[in-house]
Structure 1
């Protein structure tokens, strides 16, 4: 087994520490301290998630530029789209800078937004929050499929390998899948306010690790540093 790079040691260290802190707060019954301290709104976990999502976007944009220089237009376009998705995620995580800039929520948005803020994922449609439908369990399943199914099939299924290479999907390594399982188990076991903020933070750290050194390094044209 290859040793983790210094960057991965740092990223995985943050993941492990975040999950451990969550477990300790839960075991000790410090629900209020967790919700108003470690995982507080606009606190270290939430802003950490936003920062790492933006770093993920920058890494994807860097890969996109490299692919374009190599003449791989489709791969470059796909990676640009992925980068924009992560920029969107960054904006949503901090309510597009609303509280930082002191912006007021438009009346029309306040009426349909569960938290009365400038975000799309908290909008209520037909009595259902998008957080719990589009951004909820369905997204969790998609993430786990990406972390577990893609590494299992890449290199073994010709079709999956061709699609992944063609569309420039950064393929996770097994360490990412294992961490995804561990984080999911912790979230299922723990019942503490704002615990999912930690799950989002772990996900943002995972994507940064994956994008910096994807398992399909040949596709991205860089040496395996992980």
Structure 2
């Protein structure tokens, strides 16, 4: 990764991510109780930070829709609205839609079918299957690998892929974003003393995707008549 090619926002984002990972690795290996109950706890700094990043991405999409939507196609608008909703959903799920913040009781349905008895979908249990493990872990990792590693290669080499992502205004990761994702995936293994290490990984996901949306390879899609 060429540091000179990074924007100030990317330098700040990666610095924050590096700091969080360094603290996480230290406490996961030296004081796992502190790691679980303070550092990566429910509604703690890491989880709240992830929710904020996802929410900011959603707001950024809405801002671009308002600013550039009038002069772009219907499919462009569909893509931007879809991404805004996806990241808003992710932010809401991360904090159980504010349930703990506003001290809202779960309904009987969620009390019976949610692993943590919270009002969210990613902790739901269907039969013996945990949705979080099936969709929000295994499937999400596959999607991340495709989007952050395979798509940037295809975008540079295949015309129809470039056209598709341009049409729906989907940002393409730069190589520094891909490298950051690979590094975050490798270094999360140094926190596997705790199951809550995945909260830190989700935080990395939030930071990296925020940086992608702020400074994508195909930044021209967020201009008029793209």
The TM-score bracket by the shorter chain reads over 0.9
| Partner SS, residue 154 of structure 1 | helix
Give 1:9's match in structure 2, choosing from 11, 31, 45: 11
- How many Å apart are 1:204 and its aligned residue? 0.5
1:72 — aligned with what? 73
Please say if residues 65 and 76 of structure 1, whose CA atoms lie closer than 8 Å, have aligned partners that are also in contact.
no
CA distance in 2, matches of 1:71, 1:53: 24
CA distance in 2, matches of 1:218, 1:108: 46
CA distance in 2, matches of 1:62, 1:212: 12
CA distance in 2, matches of 1:189, 1:145: 24
1:192 — aligned with what? 193
2:84 — aligned with what? 83
CA distance in 1, matches of 2:67, 2:148: 24
Please say if residues 64 and 77 of structure 1, whose CA atoms lie closer than 8 Å, have aligned partners that are also in contact.
no
- How many Å apart are 1:23 and its aligned residue? 1.7
Superimposed CA distance per residue, residues 14-67 of structure 1 (whole angstroms, 9 cap, x where no aligned partner): 11112222222234x311111111111110001111111100111111222234
TM-score, structure 1 normalization? 0.93
TM-score, structure 2 normalization? 0.93
Matched, 1:51 2:30: no
User: What are structure 1's unaligned runs of at least 5 residues?
Assistant: none
Comparing 41-50 with 147-156, greater Cα deviation is found at: 147-156
CA distance in 1, matches of 2:106, 2:28: 34
Please say if residues 47 and 94 of structure 2, whose CA atoms lie closer than 8 Å, have aligned partners that are also in contact.
yes
| Partner SS, residue 100 of structure 2 | helix
CA distance in 2, matches of 1:26, 1:120: 28
Matched, 1:136 2:137: yes
Superimposed CA distance per residue, residues 103-139 of structure 1 (whole angstroms, 9 cap, x where no aligned partner): 0011122100000011111000121110000111110
User: What are structure 2's unaligned runs of at least 5 residues?
Assistant: none
CA distance in 1, matches of 2:64, 2:149: 23
CA distance in 2, matches of 1:170, 1:85: 14
Give 2:26's match in structure 1, choosing from 24, 49, 54: 24
The number of aligned residues is 221
Superimposed CA distance per residue, residues 190-212 of structure 1 (whole angstroms, 9 cap, x where no aligned partner): 31320000000111111111111
- How many Å apart are 1:69 and its aligned residue? 2.1
